[in-house]
Chain A
Amino acid sequence: MKPDGETPIQDERELAAKTVTHLNLKDPGVVLSLLEADQVVAAKRQSRFGPRKLSVEVRVLLWGLRIYVVVMLILVVVSVYRAISAPY
């Protein structure tokens, strides 16, 4: 499949759409034929991507941005306090 999404229709789903004029969703086979393998709720519950290994660079980036947010939030409080307490 190409990353641009311009892919031919997969046979089983095309078939489901083409042949089933009165959709019987009580048939589990029909439901499964319309969904991708990891799109079914039970399948998602049973699988995880799992943690990735964070390199030193990524850790430094995440910590740096975290400190940035905390410092900035303190400055927002200072800024708003000034704005509210300033005489009009």
Chain B
Amino acid sequence: MDAPSKPPHDSSYRPAHPTTESAAGSASAGELARLITHEDVDRARDRWQVARARWEGRGSKLFGGFGVLWLLIGPGVLVFLGENDAPSMLSYSATGARFGIGFFVPFVILTFLVGFIVQEMTVRLGAVTHRGHAELIFDRFGRFWGFFSMADLVLGNFLTLVTEFIGVRAGLGFFGIRPNVAVGGSLLIVLAAIATGRYWTWERITLGLAVFNGLFVPAALLAHPDWHATAHALLTWKPLPTGSRYDILLLILADIGATVTPWMLFFQQSAVVDKGMQPRDVNAGRFDTMLGALLASIFAIAAILATTPLFHHGISAGNFEAAQFAEALQPWIGHVGASLFALGIFEAGIVAAITISTSSAYAFGEVLQTGHSLNRPIRDAWPFYLTLLGSACAAAALVLIPKFPLEFIVLTVNVIAVLAMPPALAFLLLLVNDREVMGEYVNGTWANVAGVAVTILLVIAGLGFGLATVFPKWLGG
């Protein structure tokens, strides 16, 4: 592989370069043997299991066999089901209630395709460099641009975290659970997930919770959706949405923001690194990401279908919050359906609270160059765990403050995600085309075309929002 063309910025560091060389065969193996950490041992155990599964499934043509896939699935499914979070499911619900079955059904699938294109690049970046996204941005672009990037991430992550706890509160509120009990209990779940000190256990616990994002599917079935209209919409993108173009544009932005956001880039790359994935795992990582996008798109469409009875009965959902959707749906999908919907909102909030707070903690750890792995015991990486739990606690506390303007945050969070995405994509595309970092794993032509097209699409969507804000009458706002 290519060697770097210039020395690193600090002469005390050796120049890094992409390599697949075994640590045991490297020139510094003797030195490294004396410096092995708990994190290395846990990661080696995971790699041993993958290597055994690969050996046992060596005849299989499917990514090395089911055993390998089972071990390597995780970051991709988690990032997409994590992004099917409370505000996202609320956006999909608002879409179904406002426009019914039509243009937005295939549009949501398109947004997940866009999400897959973008997230696949983070798999390669993580598996090849073994470094997180924030670390690479600081490394290659310097502190100035790094801090800008972090500012976008921190603002977006914190606001999104607040909305997750709004979802938790609203979802459990449907069952009469008091807000402080709901939010406090959720914090305990976050704590339990990280207290294991093991990435693998954390990942499996969170995946187990994320499966319940599928609760929107039975809720949708109970709404008895018009399958003919659904198939027609998927094939023709019709009927097109009608009404205020400003409202339509806002929902388009919200639905894009429900699928592609900066935290996803930072989270998946860091999770791929923490999981110990290597270049040989890239195909399995792609499968993981595709599976996540597929599941999340099915569940998102289920949320749209579940709320179409509100559209058919002319019930305005303009100012609905999560629990109000469940209550409004109860006459049409029954108490069971409404309960499933409310539980789905709770699940969406709690899984996203775990993944987004982990994303923040990874990024802070990488920037501060302190331990940033879920394979580390709490005593060894307390700043990492403190960031993770602290950001979750701060967001949860805000939700419990009486008369705090939560509506402000809910309204802005997905829009901010879309607006902050183009610079994040620019860094991603620059990194994934950087041969000194990626070696032969740099982007191909089509990945670049897709990546640039997505960036331009997001900029146009943002500019449309800007024009509509400055000149609201143009779009009937």
Q: CA separation between A6 and B466, bound complex, in Å?
A: 45
* CB-contact partner of A13 in B22, B136, B415, under 8 A: B22
Does the CB pair A48–B10 fall under 8 Å? Answer: yes
Report the Cα distance A53→B436, complex, angstroms.
Answer: 12
Chain A's nearest CB lies how many Å from the CB of B332?
25
Inter-chain contact B283/A34, CB cutoff 8 Å:
no
- The SS class assigned to the A binding surface is helix
Q: What are 14 A-B contacts with C-beta separation under 8 Å? A: A3-B444, A10-B20, A17-B55, A29-B24, A30-B44, A33-B24, A34-B51, A41-B40, A48-B13, A49-B140, A51-B141, A52-B141, A54-B141, A68-B419
Query: What is the interface of chain B mostly: helix, strand, loop, or mixed?
Result: helix
Given A34-B44, A47-B16: A75 touches B51 (CB 8 Å cut-off): no
How many angstroms from the CA of A83 to the CA of B279 in the assembled complex?
A: 48
Nearest CB in chain B: distance from A13 CB, A: 5
B244 at the interface (CB under 8 A from A): no
Q: List residues of B whose CB falls within 8 A of some A CB.
A: 4, 6-10, 13-17, 19-26, 28-29, 31-37, 39-41, 43-45, 47-48, 51-52, 54-55, 58, 129-131, 136, 139-142, 145, 148, 152, 276, 278-284, 286, 319, 369, 405, 407-408, 411-412, 415-416, 419-420, 422-423, 426, 430, 434, 436-437, 440-441, 444, 459, 462, 465-466, 469-470, 472
Interface magnitude class on chain A: 35 or more
A3 touches B23 (CB 8 A): no
> Measured between alpha carbons, how far is A76 from B418 in the docked complex, in Å?
11
Contact status of A48 and B419, CB under 8 A, knowing A13-B47, A34-B51, A36-B23: no
A32 touches B24 (CB 8 A): yes
In the assembled complex, which residues on chain A have CB atoms less than 8 Å from the CB atom of B419?
68-69, 72-73, 76
Which chain B residue has the least Cβ–Cβ distance from A27? B33
- Chain B neighbourhood of A47, CB < 8 A: 8, 13-16
Contact A36 B20 (CB under 8 A): yes
Distance of A85 Cα from B470 Cα, bound (Å): 16
Q: Of the candidates B15, B21, B130, B405, which one forms a contact with A44 in the assembled complex, judged by CB atoms under 8 Å apart?
A: B130
Which of A39, A46, A75, A80 interacts with B278 by CB under 8 Å?
A: A39
Q: What are the residues of chain A within 8 A of B40 when measuring CB–CB? A: 31, 35, 40-42
Residues on A with beta carbons closer than 8 Å to the beta carbon of B35: 40-42
Bound: A14/B470 CA distance, A = 62
Q: Are A5 and B426 in contact, CB atoms less than 8 angstroms apart?
A: no
On whether the beta carbons of B130 and A12 are closer than 8 Å, the reply is no
A72 to chain B, nearest CB (A): 4
By Cβ-Cβ distance, the 3 closest A-B pairs, closest first, are A50-B8, A17-B51, A42-B35
- Other A-B contacts than A32-B33, A52-B434, 11 sampled, CB-CB below 8 A, are A5-B281, A5-B286, A13-B51, A17-B51, A37-B26, A43-B26, A47-B13, A52-B436, A66-B423, A69-B423, A75-B470
A69 to B34, CA, bound (A): 47
Q: Point out the residues of chain A lying under 8 angstroms from B20, CB to CB.
A: 1, 10, 36
Within 8 A of B (CB), among A64-85: 65-66, 68-69, 71-73, 75-76, 78-80, 82-84
Chain A residues whose CB sits within 8 angstroms of the CB of B283 once the complex forms: 4-6
